[in-house]
A and B are shown apart, each in its own frame.
Chain A
Amino acid sequence: MVEAVLQPLPESHVDDKRRIPGNKGIWVGITCVFIEFTVLFAVYFISRAHFPEAFHEGAQRLSLASGTVITLLMITSSYFIACSVNAIRLGRHGSSVRWLVAGLLVALGYPLAKFLEIRWNLAHGIDGDSGIFFTVYYYLTFNHLVHATWGILGILWVLARLLVRGYSADDYSGLEALASYWHATDIIWLIIFPLFYVLA
């Protein structure tokens, strides 16, 4: 009876095959970011439930073009970085560098587009005091921009390491960790976009 209890549990067949994309550290960070944005989205939905008219009218005043451009930039940079990971796995170092540079250039379009959007907002009298919708909008989108900025700095670091052949087909966890973070940031924007720009 005692022997039966002390025997090790059979390991899950599923767990054997599954892996951690990147490394454990980045997933601790991504989980914290998910929790942070869950709280921010809770603020959004509670505010929306209390002030449906303000949210309906507020979305109509935002620049749909800006939201769309940022969405396309996020999706495309995410795709380029995923291609960079795919290339390094296949041992194509040069191709991986080119995809990552492309991802960086497109990612840099996000802060630029956001800067132009804010300028457009201010020119149209939209600031943090314009009502509950815009307070939540600025708080959530600025927060996302901050996280994207960390991601851009991460891309620069990973690119520098990739250029000195710090990653190879056998060891690319740093590149994959950065990619995971950027994809998580992408997912968050894909939620923000319709909530603020589409549901007018």
Chain B
Amino acid sequence: MNGKPDHFSALTLTWLALVALTLVSLGLSEWFRSVRWLPLLVAAIIWLKGAMVARWFIESHVAHPFIARIIQAFIALSPTALVLTAFFGDTLARWATL
């Protein structure tokens, strides 16, 4: 031992949580296929899984602020776009029409 903390338990718990969230996603696709708020839930799970990988695997909380911010921004981007597309799809399509 060299006095550095052993993160094995935290890494294992993170992995188990990621597997559990993946299985929950499968359940969502089966049980709530036509529910209007499904994209909201899926967006939350995307963000949560990304945040967990960033926090525990990359250790973004102790990374340089630029790195931490770029990861946070990337993780937040798709869930936000998913919610906007799901609830304001027509407006987005109109704006994105050439």
Contact = CB atoms under 8 A, between A and B. Distances in A.
Interface string A14-53: 1101111100000100010010011001100110111010
Nearest to A95: B8
21 contacts: A14-B65, A18-B65, A19-B62, A19-B64, A20-B64, A49-B85, A49-B90, A79-B14, A82-B57, A83-B11, A86-B7, A91-B1, A186-B57, A187-B74, A190-B18, A191-B78, A194-B42, A195-B78, A195-B82, A199-B29, A200-B33
Contacts, number: 135
A179 interface: yes
Interface of A: 14-15, 17-21, 27, 31, 34, 37-38, 41-42, 45-46, 48-50, 52, 64, 68, 71-72, 75-76, 78-79, 82-83, 86, 89-91, 169, 179-180, 183-184, 186-187, 190-191, 193-195, 197-200
Contacts of A90: 1-2, 4, 6
A75 B77 CA distance: 20
B26 A190 contact: no
A197 B71 CA distance: 24
Nearest to B74: A34
A83 B14 contact: no
Contacts of A46: 92-93, 96
